[in-house]
Chains A and B, each alone.
Chain A
């Protein structure tokens, strides 16, 4: 059973950088043809797809956030990470890491972690 777990600070100050890591267990990031993704959900709102990173390190970022996002992957630790710079209150959300089976579905999700942007 594949499991994903987000970790990182729950509070970030405005203008600073939000950093989250997703640890994958139950399978290797190197196995299969999966796209390791980040999705966020502001309080009481809908889902916003942030982007993905592939095991090779290739990425796709949502154009709405592209100038502020950086993804990375560490296959030796079976982890992938998100950095979002210059955050504002609008970036307050529950952040999910997830696995996409290409063009089929997001079949595994982390439990989500709430990140609040506030001074």
Chain B
């Protein structure tokens, strides 16, 4: 299953609301997770089951979608949110990731 994220990169300011989309090449129900990766660090899960917030993750992060179209929204960007974001499908094997969205400071 191929996952296509858009945009590939995004410039935004602190306080902005941003949305990243992930489209699957076939239906995956809600078996989708979102990760944040800072430079030189391992990814960290933000959202799983498309819309469930991982424990400890700030509530400004939210996810939605099902089937083939999914979104990750950050309601009010904070300085620590500038990073790369990946989606992953866990519906079938092999697991696959989106190509990533790099969120940069404007």
Residues of A that sit less than 8 Å from B by CB? 37, 46-49, 51, 60, 62-64, 96, 100-107, 109-112
Residue positions of B touching A, CB distance < 8 A: 31, 33, 35, 41-45, 48-49, 54, 86, 88, 90-91, 93-100
- Tally A-B pairs: CB < 8 A: 57
By the criterion CB–CB under 8 Å, are A112 and B49 in contact? no
Closest to B48 in A: A105
Assess the A104–B42 pair: CB atoms within 8 A: no
Interchain CA distance A103-B90 in the complex, whole Å: 5
Closest to B29 in A: A103
In Å, the complex CA distance between A48 and B99 comes to 10
- B100 engages A46 (CB within 8 Å): yes
20 contacts between A and B (CB under 8 A): A46-B86, A47-B43, A47-B88, A48-B97, A51-B94, A60-B93, A96-B42, A96-B43, A101-B48, A104-B90, A105-B33, A105-B45, A105-B48, A105-B54, A106-B88, A107-B54, A109-B42, A109-B43, A110-B42, A111-B42
Given the complex, which residues of B lie within 8 Å of A111, measured CB to CB? 41-42
